[in-house]
Structure 1
Amino acid sequence: MTMMKSLLLFASVVAVSLAKCPDLKSLDEFDATQYTGQWYEISRYPLIGELGETCVQTNYTLKEDGTIRLENRGKKPDGSIDSIMATATVKDPAHPASLSVVFDEGFRGSYNVIRTDYTQSALVYACDSLLGFNVEYAWILSRTAELDQSTQDEYVKLMADAGSATNKLTVTPQDCGSVF
């Protein structure tokens, strides 16, 4: 595959921009203990690693050293369960909701909690530069398999007002119960 075809494929499955990253600030205060537990992915920007997956869910566990251990699971199109593990660490104590994630496979990412009430919903966002492009990642999460539309609309508006490409958000079907 040529480099141009590769870039077009890349651009078609993630929210990509040449403009600067939207200014979405992580929470000033963040309680990792309250954040732990299971979350259901309600919607996301497309991710190559999750193409075609449904019932994507994450379980967070706070470790004694203050890091957060996470496991993501999702149902692949063939019905099997896909799983990936990672460890999240606070980048700077002054910004406790801005985390660095290192997956067991070795790749890294950012994880910024923009909004959460800890008991019902969360908005997570990251924007990283890759080959001169800004690549956006966003997840709307819920403690249950469904989230009220008004909360989803609030999160989408927050991202859109900051300049994020919210037209790339895709719904994650949650029709198979817990995968944990």
Structure 2
Amino acid sequence: MPEPAKPVALESYLGTWFEYGRYEAPFQKGCEGVTAEYSLRDDGNIRVVNSCYEGGLDGEFNQATGKARIVGGSDGAKLKVSFFGPFYGDYWVLDRSAVGADGLYDWSIVGEPSGRYLWMLTREAQPDAALRAQLEARVKQLGYDWSLVRLTQQPEQ
């Protein structure tokens, strides 16, 4: 599977992301309205809060809080994330936008070494057609099968 394409500046990655699409994962089955929020913890690591509505936008709200740490020597693009005790999973920012006027990345594509997981994240709940097309093209360039991508329903803003 691909390696991260660019370094990632943590301060430009922090904040709230909306999931545009993903490879369906057992721990996210049926989730809609998915968001991920990243913030700095007092210990220098990253607080991760993932939220979703189970079974649809009118479903039960579910939230999981975990922690992440940057892998040394990865230019900030590889993280280890844990939601369950001592178990850490790989979280690689495979590609991302340039920094916008607000100092933040506008989109990112996240995966891990096995290629089983894929997430496309945007700062807007409803990305415009140009960004949707750009994400699809880049995911295909990275070697992922677009037919396996499940687009996430997000509420209108």
TM-score by length of 1: 0.73
* Partner of residue 9, structure 2: 31
Give me the CA root mean square deviation. Answer: 2.1
State the identity %: 24
- Give the 5 Å matches for 1:25-174: 25-77=3-55, 79-117=59-97, 118-128=104-114, 135-174=115-154
Change over 3 Å in CA distance of 1:28–1:176 after alignment to 2? closer
Q: Structure 2 regions of 5+ residues with no counterpart?
A: 98-103
| Distance across 2 between alignment mates of 1:162 and 1:56 | 23
Q: Structure 1 regions of 5+ residues with no counterpart?
A: 1-21, 129-134
Q: Which has the larger radius of gyration?
A: 1
Equivalent residues of 1:61, 1:68 under 8 A apart: yes
| Distance across 2 between alignment mates of 1:71 and 1:85 | 4
| Distance across 2 between alignment mates of 1:52 and 1:28 | 31
Aligned residues: 149
More deviation, 143-152/165-174: 143-152
Equivalent residues of 2:21, 2:121 under 8 A apart: yes
TM-score by length of 2: 0.82
Runs of 4+ in 1 over 6 A off after TM superposition: none
| Distance across 2 between alignment mates of 1:172 and 1:146 | 10
> Which structure's residues are more often helix, by fraction?
1
| Distance across 1 between alignment mates of 2:28 and 2:77 | 24
* Partner of residue 8, structure 1: none
Change over 3 Å in CA distance of 1:54–1:176 after alignment to 2? farther
